[in-house]
Structure 1
Amino acid sequence: MEEAEDISVPISDWRTVSDPKHAARLFSQDLLHRNKDSKCQFLSVDIRRDKEEQDRALVTFYKRDNVQWASPLQCKLQGDAATGSGVNRHMMSTVIFKLISGFHANLGNAAIVKIFEGESDHLIPSVSQELLDNNMFTVAGRMIGHSFLHHGPSFPGLSPAIVHTLLGGPLETTPVTVRDCPDLDIRDSVKMLDGDAELTEFDSVRRLCLSWNLPAPNATNRKWLSEKLLFHTVIERTRHQINQFQNGLKETGLWPLLIHRRDVIPILFPRESEAQLTPQMILDCIIWPSSITIIFESYKELDDDDESAITDVHRVSGYLKTFVGNASPVELKRLVKFWIGWELPATEMKVEVVEASLPTASTCFEKLRLPRHYATYKIFHQDLCACISTSYSGFGCP
């Protein structure tokens, strides 16, 4: 079930509401509403094809120019019976997942092409000229803006220095740190210059400086030079990539929101540590079975006084609580994605105990259906893990 729009605050008040999340939602609702009569966009991926063909379909969709990204969106998974808004959620989640994990694409010699590189919370655009020539950073901006606009996942882990530059921050206050440097050799050079080692050890550093038209290191310029090397690596070498990335974001229509509501920027680009799911975050969102009615696939209902039904509901609900309480962050993300179509918990995530063989989900209604037959947690855990592992290829439903 789609979350109801908040009509207590006029949509036009996104500039003034105090809560940045509320402001972002109002802005998106306004932009989507103004384009509701635009030509619908159709994003289709055939999950029966290999990963490279699936990824090519996503990239091709976002490579199109002169697109109104706020127009209505309809997604389809060919080879999967799922339909409705849950498919849209699944697709937006897949797009962001691919931006983080990499695309199977025929670009260069790598089997997996990553548009961003580096460590968690310090990702910067790749310096690959091939990615730049193929406008892949424009594609990244469109993907992130499109997902955000349609209430999908945000893009976590981007370097604060890149976010600062992307949003027009002054160069002199760019918060670059050595952890923003993905090249470990350059990182070591920066650390050496910033330390107290003898200059005779700096042959490789000297060659690096000269290749970037910087002076050779000496006793008086080494600290300054370490900062210049770091800034050049993180910002100056990625300048064109950042410009492409910015253009892609602007094309989605989000720029006015980001400029006028700077407090929304951490929502669009959260720290990866802040994006991690915890068991309590999920447990707080679950709507547990409120009656003892077990729904059969035939939609025949048991009587409320059926004691075995009462026992089954309590037992299986307890198994789910145990699973959530002990699951790893990766397992929690898989569970939520299987349940509602993406990794962000919904306000209300419903549970039903049903007569069935395996766990299934109705993502459109944010509902998880668990079979009543489980008599041991071991088998419950085994089946649930098997089902949620399908969430990145489909919905795991018959």
Structure 2
Amino acid sequence: MISSVPMEMEETEKISSTTGKWRTVFDPKEAGWLFTQDLLHSNRDSKSLFLSLDIRKDKKEQDQALVTFYQRDNVKWTSPLMCTLQGDVAAGSGVDRHVISTVIFKLISGLHINLGTAITQIFEGERDHLIPSVSDELLDNNMFTIAGRMIGHSFLHCGPSFPGLSPAIIHILFGGSLETCPVTLRDCPDLDIRDVLKMLDGDAELTECDSIHQLCLSWDLPAPNATNRKWLYGKLLLHAVIERTTCQIDQFQKGLKETGLWPLLIHRRDVIPILFPRESEAQVTPQMILDCITWPSSVTVIFDSYKVVGHRDKSDVTDVCRVSDYLKAFIENASSAELKSLIKFWIGWELPTTEMKVEIVDSRFPTAVTCFEKLRLPRHYTAYKAFHQDLCACISTSYSGFGCV
């Protein structure tokens, strides 16, 4: 399953192993951060990678630009990354976060590329049981290698993880054996195959044997009987989920390795759940955001983008408290999807950071300075309904760029 390691990856492992602190720290998040920072620092003088998105173009052209960037071979993915948004005035680290977040969002939601369907899903199945698609066209176009590069590259730059991958796929991806693979019926995305497997499971009399016989024949397995049905159930399930996706998993593993993460993931297996979290664990909760917010001071008031002018009088303090309460109410009552859009609008991607700042300003609409992780809210709101309406309109633009209302 594990393919040969390119020479540059062997060098990466040597560099990473010399620092070594990531091997011994207790917290896996800290281990991952230390490893990636060492890796990026050791490659800081390499030729930069430039990833540009033109937000004036349609989804198909934008998605194709992302695929084109990640389908290149012989690329040093640990090189410095510079992202730009054509058609938008934004610049800086906020743009980098926005673009990396968009890459993972597209991988999760589906890519608009010319591969036979309107939206290309590289992984398929139900929540927390996603497996690689069995599409030969995706395999022939190395889309699973591209997916591995995307996920590894995002992790390198502290971006979003890829949630919902089946534990069975993760097990095989990192060298687990078929005999101990934790595959379940929910890992099978094909509902017709799942129905056949359900008939084999248990001790009830077999019905509709034609469909069972046909599936067994197509996969070179014997017809079912009273003595082999449980064995046959396991063989069919393993084939449906793992054996049919072996080449896809190999490609996926290759893409991950090329980003230089493999030494970390092999030596610190407690980092793997951070790279591939359960989707339920990847949900953003109101408290996660509230715990990260730096609320505005009661001493000064911001009147424009660059100056702090004067001291607040009683009305200023009232405005700050009122609008801050509106934001708190919005966060406490928003859906997970709305919270992710808010964070992406605020800092550039859906992961909360430790110091998400709020400022109350004189302006017409909510704005964000993603490079400095600041959300700027107008002080003129006197009703929550108007505040909610404008904030929802603004955060809905988070996947198309910056500065849109």
Query: What TM bracket, shorter-length normalisation?
Result: over 0.9
Matching residue of 1:4: none
Deviation, 1:255, is 0.4
CA contact (8 A) 1:388 1:396 kept: no
Deviation at 1:280, TM superposition (A): 0.6
Give the 3 Å change call, closer, same or farther, for CA 32–299 of structure 1 in structure 2.
Answer: closer
How far did residue 300 of structure 1 move? 5.2
SS at match of 1:358: coil
Query: Is this contact kept in 2: 1:292–1:309, CA < 8 A?
Result: no
Distance in 2 separating the partners of 1:395 and 1:305: 30
| 8 Å CA contact 1:12, 1:26 repeated in 2 | no
> TM-score scaled to structure 1, two decimals?
0.95
CA distance, structure 1, for counterparts of residue 349 and residue 204 of structure 2: 50
C-alpha separation in 2, matches of 1:164 and 1:323: 40
Equivalent of residue 206 in structure 1, options 191, 208, 213 = 213
1:292–1:313 CA contact under 8 A, matched in 2: no
Q: Is the 8 A contact 1:295 1:355 kept in 2?
A: yes
Aligned counterparts of 2:221 and 2:56: Cα–Cα separation in 1: 52
C-alpha displacement of 1:297 = 2.4
1:49 paired to 2:62: no
Aligned pair partner of 1:272 in 272, 276, 279: 279
Q: 1:203 to 1:298 in 2, by over 3 A?
A: closer
Matched with 1:251 is 258
Matches within 5 A, 1:1-398: 12-108=20-116, 110-297=117-304, 299=306, 301-397=308-404
- Listed one character per residue, the Cα deviations across residues 55-99 of structure 1 (whole Å, up to 9, x for unaligned) are 000000000000000000000010111100111111111111111
2:300/2:312 contact within 8 Å kept: no
1: distance between equivalents of 2:169 and 2:94? 32
1:6 is matched with which residue? none
Q: Distance in 1 between matches of 2:314 and 2:95?
A: 37
Shift of 1:291: 2.8
In structure 1, C-alpha distance between the alignment counterparts of 2:312 and 2:291, rounded to whole Å: 29
Give secondary structure in 1 for the equivalent of 2:35. Answer: helix
TM-score (structure 2 length as normaliser): 0.94
What's the RMSD between the two structures over aligned residues? 1.2
CA–CA distance in structure 1, aligned partners of residues 124 and 404 of structure 2: 35
Structure 2 Cα separation of the partners of residues 384 and 11 of structure 1: 45
CA contact (8 A) 2:48 2:80 kept: yes
Residue 203 (structure 1) shift: 1.1
1: CA distance between counterparts of 2:387 and 2:299?
20
In structure 1, stretches of 5+ residues that fail to align are: 1-9
**Alpha-carbon contact 1:294-1:355 (below 8 Å) kept:** no
- Counterpart in the other structure of 2:12: none
What whole-Å deviation, never above 9, does each CA across 1:148-198 have from its counterpart, x for those lacking one? 011111110000000000001111100000000000111111111012332
Counterpart code for 1:73: L
Deviates more, 1:302-311 or 1:214-223: 302-311
- The runs of 5 or more residues in structure 2 that have no matched partner are 1-17
Which residue identity lines up with residue 199 of structure 1 in the other structure? L
The letter of the residue matching 1:228 is: K
Are the equivalent residues in 2 in contact too, given 1:12–1:30 (CA < 8 A)?
Answer: no
**Cα distance, 1:200 vs structure 2:** 4.1
Identity %: 77
CA distance in 2, matches of 1:179, 1:204: 20
Secondary structure of 1:274 counterpart: coil
SS in 2 for 1:294: coil
What is the letter of the counterpart of residue 114 of structure 2? N
Give the superposition deviation at 1:232: 0.2
Contact 2:23–2:31 at 8 Å: present in 1 too?
Answer: yes
Q: How many residues align?
A: 388
Taking a change above 3 Å as real, the CA distance of residues 307 and 11 of structure 1, as seen in their structure-2 partners, is farther
Q: Is the 8 A contact 2:397 2:404 kept in 1?
A: no
Deviations 1:259-307 (A, max 9, x none): 1111110010000000001101100000000234221226454432422
**CA distance, structure 2, for counterparts of residue 300 and residue 23 of structure 1:** 39
Is the partner of 2:280 in helix, strand or coil?
helix
Separation (CA, whole Å) in 2 of partners of 1:240 and 1:139: 14
| Cα shift at 1:397 | 4.8
Question: Are the counterparts in 2 of residues 99 and 115 from structure 1 also a CA contact under 8 Å?
Answer: yes
Moved more, 193-202 or 118-127: 193-202
Q: In 2, Cα distance between the equivalents of 1:84 and 1:200?
A: 63
Counterpart amino acid of residue 402 in structure 2: F
Q: Is the 8 A contact 2:164 2:279 kept in 1?
A: yes
Structure 1 letter corresponding to 2:206: L
Q: Give the conservation status (yes or no) of the 8 Å contact 2:298–2:312.
A: no
Give the Cα separation in 1 of the matches to 2:204 and 2:268.
Answer: 46
Task: Return the alpha-carbon distance in structure 1 between the equivalents of residues 330 and 206 of structure 2.
Answer: 57
Amino acid at match of 1:36: R
Whole-Å separation in 2 of the counterparts to 1:394 and 1:286: 23
